[in-house]
Amino acid sequence: MKSNLEHSEAAAIFNKDVKRVDWHDETLWFVREKRDKAAHQIPEWELLRETASEIKNNVLSNMHDYLLEFESNAQKNGITIHWAADADEHNKIVHSIMEKHGVKQMVKSKSMLTEECHLNEYLSEKGIDVIDSDLGERIVQLRKEPPSHIVLPAIHLKKEDVSETFHEHLGTEKGNNDPQYLTEAARLHLRDTFLTRKVALTGVNFAIAETGEIVVCTNEGNADMGVHLADVHIACMGFEKIIPQRKHLSVFLRLLARSATGQPITTFSSHFKTPRDGKEMHIVIVDNGRTTQLGREDFRSSLKCIRCGACMNTCPVYRRSGGHSYHNAVAGPIGSILAPNLDMSKNADLPFASTLCGSCTNVCPVKIDIHNQLYKWRQVLVKEGHTPLGKTVAMKGMATVLANPMVFDFAGKAGRFVMKNMPVLVNNSLNPWYKQREMPAPPEESFREWYKKNAKESKDKKDE
């Protein structure tokens, strides 16, 4: 990961460049609006969400059976199935397939799972050269950055940044920011990669238990081109990608792209069912903490996620803090409820990087109650001791004051007295509120003081 800064620190740095934050916010808001237009054109949109949610609930409750059904059907189709308990095992399995074939190069289409497992770093240490073929992923890969968004990996970059990166790595003209020119350069560069790589790795959007096939959704066709030109296809999936039957795709494919980018459907929805003659197809099914999450009653439904990224696009915090501030492969609201499951201590800040506004829950195509889970993670993290001592002390003090009316009354009066007579004690640089905001003007009396004097009078009036 890029940094070990807490979300709030990284976000504060991101916010130093106001114009860039505005641009980032507006770009993602544009995607959110496209999503709204697409969703609002479908009269049965809310029913589709509910249906998708129920299908996924069924999957979560019958995961064991569906996985075995999928394995058995995939094997009948000639696919080799591997099971990986964690990221390390996943990486070893992928590497062992490469070794078996004596191949040192891989072309990879987008897979957030391999980001989660840090596969690129692992393979690179083993001397294997991986080229990401999704354009956005290729851009961030050249810059040695992680993706900042699960659907739009390079959304934090402007075309000027891309031009500079391509100039440095692909030899394009310096200062040529024309998107078409830059895309053509990437296309030429990737075309060569597609023609020469023997092993292609893809992610999986949906794995169908009934048929043992997988479906990969892309806009660039890069998954297909990689797979069709390679001898070996490795597909990596978290086990929650299972859906029961092929007919259920009709629900998910209608939701996925509309939620993600506002498109009716991705340009390519590619079904991979069986290896071609003389070729190999492997599927690596990964747990990496998912069983633990499935066992957490409050958080299991986070595994319904189909990785559309809608919660990121709508999140007012994400739009203004950028994906890297979440220091996790999956950023934004959904990342903030997935990450603590992987490492509570490292990701304790993420559930707090939210105002709990609830917009994420409303856009989620599979109806994950993301904001409720953010709230619940906060409770868990505090109980498990992952909050700063100072905060705990302050909260305990606050709880005592607020539970005792007399103390509350006194504290209120004292507070207002200080604000009125010694404002410097409040209006100073140690008060984060005051840095960019004025404090409210303390009134002469509280409401309860007013009420004591005036309420009886009004009651008397009423009695007349």
Partner 1 sequence: MKIGLFIPCYVDQFYPKVAIATYELLQKLGCDVRFPMKQTCCGQPMANSGYEHLTKGCDTNFIANFAEFDFIVCPSGSCVLHVKEHLHDENNEALASQMRKRVFELTEFITDILKIEMIPGNFPYKVGMHQSCHGQRGLKLSQMTELNAPFFSKPEQLLSRIDGINLVSLSRKDECCGFGGTFCVTEEAISVKMGQDRIKDHEAHQVEYITGGDMSCLMHLEGILKRQKSPIKIIHIAEILNATI
Contacts (CB under 8 A) with partner 1, residues 27-56? 29, 36, 39-40, 42-43, 45-46
- Provide the minimum distance between the beta carbon of 8 and partner 1 in the complex, in angstroms, as a whole number: 5
- Provide the minimum distance between the beta carbon of 312 and partner 1 in the complex, in angstroms, as a whole number: 14
Stretch that binds partner 1, among 60-68, 147-155, 244-252, 378-386 (CB under 8 A): 378-386
Task: Pick from 171, 179, 264, 443 the residue near partner 1 by CB under 8 A.
Answer: 443
Q: Which of residues 30 and 88 has its CB atom nearest to partner 1 in the complex?
A: 30
Side-chain-side CA neighbours of residue 394 (13 Å): 5
Strands 242-243 and 280-286, sheet pairing: unpaired
Q: H/E element holding 52?
A: helix 45-61
Determine the residue type at 441. A
CB within 8 Å of 82: residues ≥ 6 apart: 93, 282, 283, 284, 285
| 87 interacts with partner 1 by CB under 8 A | no
- Provide the minimum distance between the beta carbon of 159 and partner 1 in the complex, in angstroms, as a whole number: 24
Task: Pick from 400, 420, 423, 428 the residue near partner 1 by CB under 8 A.
Answer: 400
Stretch that binds partner 1, among 55-63, 102-110, 263-271, 373-381 (CB under 8 A): 373-381
| 344 interacts with partner 1 by CB under 8 A | no
Task: Pick from 20, 273, 320, 346 the residue near partner 1 by CB under 8 A.
Answer: 320
Cα–Cα distances (Å) from 151 to 49, 138, 147, 258, in that order, read 19, 13, 9, 12
DSSP-based three-state secondary structure for 416: helix
Q: Determine the distance from the C-alpha atom of residue 108 to the mean position of all C-alpha atoms in its chain, rounded to a whole number.
A: 20
Rg of the chain over CA atoms, in angstroms?
Answer: 26
Alpha-carbon span 340 to 427, nearest angstrom: 36
| 19 interacts with partner 1 by CB under 8 A | no
Contact indicator for 251, 51 with CB cutoff of 8 Å: yes
CB within 8 Å of 191: residues ≥ 6 apart: none
Cα–Cα distances (Å) from 147 to 170, 423, 451, in that order, read 20, 46, 57
| 181 interacts with partner 1 by CB under 8 A | no
Task: Pick from 23, 30, 417, 433 the residue near partner 1 by CB under 8 A.
Answer: 433
Q: Which of residues 6 and 164 has its CB atom nearest to partner 1 in the complex?
A: 6
| 316 interacts with partner 1 by CB under 8 A | yes
| 455 interacts with partner 1 by CB under 8 A | yes
Task: Pick from 175, 435, 457, 464 the residue near partner 1 by CB under 8 A.
Answer: 435
